Structures are given as structure tokens and as C-alpha cells.
Structure 1
Amino acid sequence: MVDDGRVIIPEVLAFGDQVADALTRTLGPDLVGAYFVGSVALGGYVPGESDIDIAAVSGAALTDSQRRSVASAVVEASAGCPARGVEFTLYRREIAGSPPSGADFEVNANGGPRMPTAVHLDASAEPGFWYVLDRAIAHRSGLAISGPPAREVFADVPRDTLLEAMYRSMAWHRAHEKATLYSVLNACRAWRFAEEDVLGSKLEGAAWARARWPDSGTIDAAVALRRGENAVLDASAVDALLSAVAARLR
């Protein structure tokens, strides 16, 4: 149902419809809508390399049985994902329509041809900052696969809340992912947001940051890796970028 002029690759559109159909079969009329978020919504999708991020909304909280059924339906659909994999999160409408404070999801399920299957049904056990960012993207840029426009369903996220979420994501990268393309590109996007209040794609953030960071080679290497090319990231250089961006976020 994407109709706002943004160009989406047909195979991505078809997969979104497949996920929405699976959700409709599982939830029936309780499904409010399903939405592209992440790189597809922000214009940074790289065929063959990016994930497909989908957020969905139910009218009410799900039972344990419904949560398991939704997760199973998404994991089953993920086998046909045309990307590396799908990252899926479902919220109830009351939560989606309120400013976020944590993960607060009903279901989180990931899987695909090149992504390990992971199902999370306990939001309290997951880091909340990723979901704060996703809900901000949903409100500002989400594309409806089914249901009403995303900005009518997802509340916007206050700037201070987003800055805190991004700060926590920098700490998480430094502790867990370190010298990866995701660390670099998330840092670039966060830095741009801190300076210009623009929540764009990771690749747009990299282009913006490249002219402002003295070590452009680190950013170039991350972009090359994002595009499936060969490159090497230096751990100390990545940590320096993460540390500098964290300071700016504060």
C-alpha cells in the first residue's frame, strides 16, 4: 500500500505484503497495520546487503499463544525474504501511540537467508534504545504496507529521549560490536541527528560525517562494507569515532 512517491524495489514490496498477509491470518481484525521502517523507509536500502525492517501494530495486548503464533508466522515468512533477513517488531496500539521509554514490544522476531533466527517475547529483557529509535523512524518516515499512515499510529519521540537512546547505543557498540560497519554508520547517523536534528539513513549519515571527521578512511571503509565490498576497519579508529559521538550526544 506504499503510495507516497518513494520508490521501493518490487521484491521488497512483495515481501512486505507476504508478512502483512501472514499477520492478518494470525491476528485477523486486531491487526492495525504493518510498516516498513529502517533502511527501506529511509532510502538507504542496499539490495543484497541491508535487512528489511518491519514494524506492526495490534489493537490490543496479545496473549502468550498469539505472541508465539505471530513469531512463528514471521519466522516462516522470513525464509522467502529477498534481503539478508527481516527484523520484525510488533507493538500494541496504546504503546505505539505513546512516547517510548523502553522496548515495550509484544513480539520481536528476526530471521532470513543470512540472518540467525531469533525470537524475543519478553520486552523487559531487551535493550530499549533500539526500539526507541525504530519508533521514531516509524513516526517520521514509516511506509504503510497495510493500515493507516504510520505517523497516525506511532507517536513522535522527543529529542532528549532520542539523544539518550543514541548515547546508549554508542556504549552498546563499544562493548559488543566494536569495529563493525554498524558501529561506524550508527555513530555517523547519531552525530548528524545531534547537530542537525535529522534522522536519516545510515548511509546519509556517513556522507554527512565524512566531511566533518578527520579520519574519512574509517567512514569510507564502513560504507564499502555496507555495499558488500572488501574493506578493513581499525578497532582504535572506530572506538575514537564512537567516543567522540558519545560526547556530542551528551
Structure 2
Amino acid sequence: MDAKTEPFHAVPAEVRPYLTELVRRTRAVCGSRLTGVVAVGSLALGDYRHGRSDIDVTVLVEGPPEAATLRALAHALDHRQLPCPAAGLELVVYAADFARVPSGEAGYLLDLNTGAQLPGRTAFDTAGGPSFWYVIDRSVAHQDGIALYGPPASQVIAAPRPTDLYTAIQASVREHSDGEGHLADNRVLNGCRSVVYCRTGRWFAKRDAAMQVATEEEDFRPLIEAAVRSFERPRAAALPLPSPQVRTFLGWVRALVDENAAAAGA
């Protein structure tokens, strides 16, 4: 194993061969420009669920590289070339200099979504798209990212400024409140994560956050427990949740997040 690579025992056994090959292909395409490969999302927070969760990866490159290199990387990691064993791969490439500095921008060079259960996406331009997903992911990466290649994540990915992060959380809650394109259980559990972040200043896995909120907010406990039961099933077998209760819960989440954002100056 390369001296710059953290042992892959930090990720679940079901995805180790895939991630090993992903790093190999990324190194082959990016060469000496590659600074780091970091597992984020549910892998980083210790709540990856095989058959339900995505594999979230952040790649850092010096340069930035030529457009042809980014296109070659997208091709090499496409599900049709490297089948993803999870619901899908969500991979984001940043310039290393960008990632080292706090930012509220999307800032990516490549945003790749590929997999059996994900709508395909290959984007090289951030114009017109939301930035909040990327800001939150970088916050999680700084806190708990797993370095699959390169230095520890906290050394190469800066934590966003509180004002930028709370602006991103507000945008996330608004999108989940609208509900379009999101499973009901994910809407509720992401709401729980936002609440717990506001209360603790740390990101927790969805089910851990749900347990905390269910314990403290008795009125919402049945809905949250139902969301957890649904989340523990495959995506195709997710359970329906009562829409009025989901909207009421997310309205409460939104008010709490707005209050904390105002206190942070967002």
C-alpha cells in the first residue's frame, strides 16, 4: 500500500474493492496532479447502508487539470466502466487550492453522479446550480472525511465559515421542505441532522441524529421512528410517510435553523 494511503479498513468491506479500484483509476488519470481522495457522506459518518446509501467521494487535484483530464476521469469512473456496488457514486473534484480555503461556493471542477439508482450527471460548470450540497459536504469532510489517498482530510479541506455553512443548511432545509426528488425518510432524517448540527456544532449520521431528536422532541418521535424504519429498507422499498406530518416537522426544523443562522450572522 502506498505510504500516502490510509488503510481501507476504515470503510465497509462491501465497498473496499470498489474504492481501491476508484483510487487506482483516479491516480492513473490524474497522475502527479492528484493531491487527495477522501470518502465523505455516510462512509465518513459511519452510517453507510449497503443497498441504500450512495458512495460519496471528494477528489483534490493541483492545477487545475485540463478539461480532457476531467473528461477522462468521468469516463473511467462511469458506472458502465466501473460498476458501483452502492446505490450510486457521487464524486466531486476540486482544485486543491480552492479546497484549502473556506468558501460558500460550489467550486467544483467535476461533479459526477453515476450508478444503478442515480440519475446520471456529469457537470464541469457550477453556473446556475445550487451550492449548498458542496458546502455541507466539505464541512463533513473536514470533520470526519476518510483519506483514501493523501493527507488527512482536515489538512486539505477547509471547514466553511459559519455564515456560509448556515446559509447552506438553510438552503438544504428549503429544498427538503419542497420535497421534489427526495424520499420522505431522507427529508426527515436530513432535517434531524440539521437540528443536531445547530445544537452541537457537529455532523452526526442520520440515524444517530434521528435518535437524538426523537428523544428530545416527543411530538415528532413517531414520525422520526417511522423515517428510520424506512431508511433501513432498500430505496425501492421505502415506506410512505404522512405528508402533513413531514411538512410540519420540516417547518419546525426550518424555524430552528433560521434562528441559529441569524445568531451566526448568516
Tell me the TM-score range normalised by the shorter chain: over 0.9
The 5 Å alignment of 1:144-223 reads: 144-175=147-178, 176-177=180-181, 180-213=184-217, 214-223=219-228
Residue identity opposite 2:184 in structure 1: T
Conserved 8 A contact 1:184-1:238: yes
TM-score for both structures, normalised by structure 1:
0.93
Q: After the TM superposition, which parts of structure 1 deviate over 4 Å for at least 4 consecutive aligned residues?
A: 76-79
- Structure 2: any 5+ residue segments left out of the alignment? 259-266
Corresponding residue to 1:239 among 230, 244, 247 = 247
> How far did 1:64 drift?
2.1
> How far did 1:76 drift?
4.2
Conserved 8 A contact 2:27-2:34: yes
Q: CA offsets per residue over residues 33-68 of structure 1, 9 Å max, x none?
A: 101100011011112211111111001223222221
- The residue aligned with 2:13 is 10
How many residues of Structure 1 are paired with residues of Structure 2 in the alignment? 249
The 5 Å alignment of 1:14-29 reads: 14-29=17-32
TM-score for both structures, normalised by structure 2:
0.87
> How far did 1:92 drift?
0.5
- The residue aligned with 1:38 is 41
The whole-number CA distance in structure 2 between the counterparts of 1:102 and 1:230 is 33
- Aligned-residue RMSD, C-alpha: 1.9
Give percent identity, aligned residues only.
Answer: 28
Q: CA offsets per residue over residues 91-146 of structure 1, 9 Å max, x none?
A: 00111101121111000101112222211111123210000000011111000111
The whole-number CA distance in structure 2 between the counterparts of 1:179 and 1:81 is 21
The 5 Å alignment of 1:63-78 reads: 63-76=66-79
- Structure 1: any 5+ residue segments left out of the alignment? none
> How far did 1:232 drift?
2.1
The whole-number CA distance in structure 2 between the counterparts of 1:209 and 1:120 is 36
> How far did 1:2 drift?
3.4
